[in-house]
Amino acid sequence: MGKDKEPLGSEGRELNAEVARICLALHTARPFTHLAATDGGRDMPNKWVGDRFVPRPVVSYGVYEGPARFGRPVEGSGQLEGGDDELRLAFGQGLWGGRLPDDWQVIDAEMYAVLAYLRKMATAEDAADRRCLVLSDCKPALQQIEAAYRKGSLEGLREWDRGAALEGICRYRAQLDSVTFLWVPSHAGCASNAYADAAATAYMGASEIEDATAVIREAVRTRPCVYTDRRRTADREGGREVLDRRTYYATRGHTNEWVRGRLGEGLTAGSHTAGVTGPLWSDVVRGTTRHKWDKRQRIKDQHGEREIEFADVDDHNVVTKTVMGARVRQQAGVPHGAHHERIMRGEAGRETPGAATRSELRGCLVCKAARDAARRAALKRDPLCPVARKAAQQWTEEDENPPRATMAHLLSGACLGNREQARWFLRVARAQTGTAISKVAQAAPDSKDTLKTLRIAHVAALKGSRYRVLDEDGYDALAPAVGGVLPALVDDLSEKSRRDLGAGVTRNLQVVAEAATGAVQRWIQLNDEATARIMKREEHIEWLRKLFAGWKEARPALRESRRRRDNGGNVQTGQQPVGRTGAATAAQAGGSGDSGQRAKWVRLMMLLRLRERFRCWASFRMVLTRKGIDAMYKAYKKRRKKRRGASDDETEASADEGRADPGTAEADQTASTAEGTLGRGTRRAATSTDYGGPVTRRRRADDGEAEQSRRARRGREQDVAEISRRMYEEIRSSRDPRDHVEDG
């Protein structure tokens, strides 16, 4: 009977007995002439059309007035007799209802069922003598009906939601002798409301929709008109239905429905149910997200029963996030999920990479941190350890194609930094899915799809916990167990057996979800620690861009000045400058020279100097503030002064050596004088007169090459000094508030 429990079960018998006692007491106070139970329902029977999600709600109502008169009198006994056909016909005559507009909610159907029944009673010839008892399981509808009736006036109901239906109920209620409403629990086994629910369920398959607009409009007298709107229903285009809402809330509801429909157009089968398609086991789907405390706000643990605390609510919320994340493949705190893929598709056409693209290039930071820690430990034990070399090679390969931090990467054991937690989760999943398989196989052996889903998950957990790391397909097999999504049962079980089986399987899958939550939260903690340095660098990415832009603007002038400085004296001799490679010369002449250009780029950007001074990129921001620039500039001046002092010491030592060897002093002085006439940065030209022997000539050649190397080095230092000076002046003149980040 619809969604109701069995009326003849133990709970149903007690509830029916209690309802009968209350009704008899009311009947004693005011004898009723008519009784009815009303119910309304809303369902989504056709959510999927092929592989597309198409929301098609179906709304209906049902009324049960009791069986009609049936049977034939038995002579001499005063009793009646009848067959099964007459009994079914009598009960069928007491059941009626209809299908309502598809955009109505459940409370609208519940209230319209009451309106339809009172309209039937009020239009009878003896309406003034009828005393009616109405049983309903919708407490909000009964509260609104009673509040509107006790208001005493029908004016002002147009400002209420469902005001037109409430006005009709109050008007028909006033035409009867008396109407008493009794609330009964919904879907708890009450026999009368179970029949009404069965009637509503049956009318969901009706082909025609009842003209509810005409019924409501007929009962309204306090307003000049009733608003309607044109809605597209499942069966017809452009039908007008009554708009019994306040205008703003009705518009917001319709907008919400339109947005949901548009979003549903892009969904595919299984995209939000962990890959499971078709009818679902609703008891398990709802139960895996249900909290553990009861209505008294008390929870049971290993020490007994206690009141819930905020920590219990937080734990439940975290587990719920994991369950819902497994269903849609997007976990809060895990960067690379379904939402990340959508952002990546949006950033595909951009020239500047966005945050998602940079996160994709970084990959799983927990894996990198674990591999780096293992490499450092191996190098500490043995600098020539092959493990360290292998780890370095893996690091290089991972940088080119890093693993993505997805739910499959976390829970399948592929993440090096979270492997132990993942293996523990897989062992728990193996044990709990095995228990669930035994329960379902014993109670519902014909539910092949449910058993197949559980067995595939069990095999995947077994492989991951014992043999190897799971791949994406292996995690897809585990996702239904983590998300608590299983195909519906097909066995014809009693309500109690179905409920007990669902509760048992739900407990097993809740344990799996808790184990998965532990593994995911541990990974999130490690990832937050590894991401802290990245986020600091991301905060100052504009400074890095400004640095690169400044270097790009200064590079052409610096290259031209270097070219003139290095080759100014070699134009006449045609010799290659000392310290210049063939690649650099080719780049200077307009050739390829890519490796030389990259080397100069790295050198000019001072990245090597900064990495020696600051051990990680996160500290790079320290040198981009005013204090950092001042300190870097002063340190550079100090180092340059020391190098000049060392150069002067070398010159004095050469002079002392010349004085000690008079035979070579004059030759060195003459060579030095000749070299000075050729210009800066050039070799000493060969003279027609040789002073000294072969040793002296080799010494003079070595001194000339050393001098050329020193001059080339001084030229590069001047380039670096020029970039530093320009950066210093630009930042000192800036008025950007971000310049004062490190100014204490």
The single-letter code of the amino acid at 68 is A
Helix pair 495-539, 472-483: axis angle to 10 deg? 120
Is residue 278 left, alpha or beta, with left meaning phi > 0 and alpha meaning psi from -120 to 50? Answer: left
> 73 forms bridges with which residues in the sheet?
80
Say if residue 400 is exposed, middle or buried (CB neighbours under 10 Å; 0-12, 13-18, 19+): exposed
How confident is the model at residue 720, as a pLDDT? 58
**What size, in residues, is the chain?**
744
Domain residue limits at 203: 10-72+79-265
Cβ distance 200 to 97 under 8 Å?
A: yes
The pLDDT, as a whole number, for residue 270 is 81
Residue 437 CA to residue 441 CA, distance in Å, equals: 6
Strands 131-136 and 34-43, by their bridges, are: parallel
- 530 and 547 assigned to the same domain: no
- Is 240 found in the same domain as 204? yes
Triad 528, 530, 533: Cα angle to 5°? 100
Q: Residues 109, 30: one domain?
A: yes
| 599 in the same domain as 510 | no
pLDDT tens digits along 340-354:
888 888 888 777 778
Instruction: Return mean pLDDT, the chain.
Output: 75
The predicted pLDDT at position 38 comes to 93
Look up residue 159 and give its DSSP letter: G
pLDDT at 333 over 70: yes
pLDDT at 291 over 50: yes
Question: Do 583 and 595 touch, CB atoms closer than 8 A?
Answer: yes
pLDDT value at position 506? 93
| Phi and psi at residue 308, to the nearest 5° | -70, 155
Same domain, yes or no, for 527 and 558? no
Percent of the chain with pLDDT over 70: 68
Residue 25 pLDDT: 92
For 85, 214, 292, 488, the CA distances from 484, given in Å and listed in that order, are 44, 45, 16, 12
- Burial class of residue 579 (count of CB atoms within 10 Å of its CB; 0-12, 13-18, 19+): middle
**Can you tell me whether residue 292 is helix, strand or coil?**
coil
Among 63-67, 176-180, 219-223, name the one with the lowest average pLDDT. 219-223
| Domain-terminating residue out of 486, 517, 538 | 538
Contacts of 298 (CB under 8 A, 6+ apart): 305, 306, 307, 308
Could you give the CA distance from residue 600 to residue 563 in angstroms, rounded to a whole number? 13
The answer to the question of residue 440 being in a domain is yes
Which SS3 state, helix, strand or coil, does residue 740 take?
helix
Same-domain status, 492 and 557:
no
Residues 103 and 164 in one domain: yes
User: Which one is predicted more confidently, 670 or 142?
Assistant: 142
Contact 173, 73 (CB under 8 A): no
Bridge partners (DSSP) of residue 72 are 81
Confidence of residue 706 (pLDDT cuts 50, 70, 90): low
- Residues 25-50 have pLDDT tens digits of 999 888 999 999 999 988 876 565 55
Please tell me the predicted confidence (pLDDT) of residue 113.
93
Asked if residue 143 and residue 21 are part of one domain, the reply reads yes
Q: Among 459, 473, 450, 403, which Cα is nearest to 426's?
A: 459
- Please report which helix (H) or strand (E) contains residue 97, including its range: strand 95-100
Q: What is the pLDDT of residues 437-469, one digit of tens each?
A: 999 999 998 899 999 999 999 999 988 887 778
How large is the average pLDDT for residues 265-282? Answer: 83
Cβ burial 633-663 (10 Å sphere, 16+ → b, else e)? eeebeeeeeeeeeeeeeeeeeeeeebeeeee
Within a domain: 273 = no
Domain boundary among 508, 538, 568: 538
CA distance 166 to 83: 42
Residue bearing the bigger pLDDT, 472 or 658: 472
- Which of 78-92, 381-395, 712-726 ranks highest by mean pLDDT? 78-92
Residue 574 lies in a domain: yes
User: Are β-strands 304-307 and 298-301 bridged in parallel, bridged antiparallel, or unpaired?
Assistant: antiparallel
pLDDT beyond 70 at 731: no
Do 239 and 331 reside in the same domain of the chain? no
* Tokens (6 digits) for 308: 């819930």
Q: Among the listed ranges 45-49, 359-363, 670-674, 715-719, which one has the minimum average pLDDT value?
A: 670-674
DSSP class of residue 687?
P
Judgement on whether residues 504 and 550 belong to the same structural domain of the protein: no
CATH assignment of the domain containing 37: 3.30.420.10
Quote the pLDDT of residue 484.
Answer: 92
Q: Among 270, 234, 657, 632, which residue's Cα sits nearest to residue 479?
A: 270
393 lies in a domain?
no
Q: Are 477 and 555 in the same domain?
A: no
Mean pLDDT of the 530-558 span: 75
Of 518, 538, 558, the last residue of a domain is 538
Q: How much is the pTM?
A: 0.56
Domain for residue 290, yes or no? no
* Average pLDDT for 393-419: 77
The pLDDT of residue 376 is above 60: yes
Q: Is the pLDDT of residue 626 over 70?
A: no
Which is higher by pLDDT, 423 or 250?
423
Instruction: Please indicate, yes or no, whether residues 554 and 429 belong to a single structural domain of this protein.
Output: no
Helix (H, G, I), strand (E, B) or coil at 367: helix
Q: Does the residue 3 lie in any domain?
A: no
Average of pLDDT values for 174-191? 88
Start-end of H helices in 51-127: 84-93, 106-122
- Greater confidence (118 vs 617) lies with 118
Nearest-Å Rg of the Cα atoms of the chain is 43
Is the CA virtual torsion 42, 44, 45, 46 positive or negative? Answer: positive
In a domain, residue 390? The reply is no
Around Cβ 433, how many Cβ atoms within 10 Å? Answer: 27
Domain count of the chain? Answer: 3
Does residue 286 belong to any structural domain of this protein?
Answer: no
Regarding beta strands 52-53 and 58-64, do their DSSP bridges make them parallel or antiparallel, or are they unpaired? unpaired
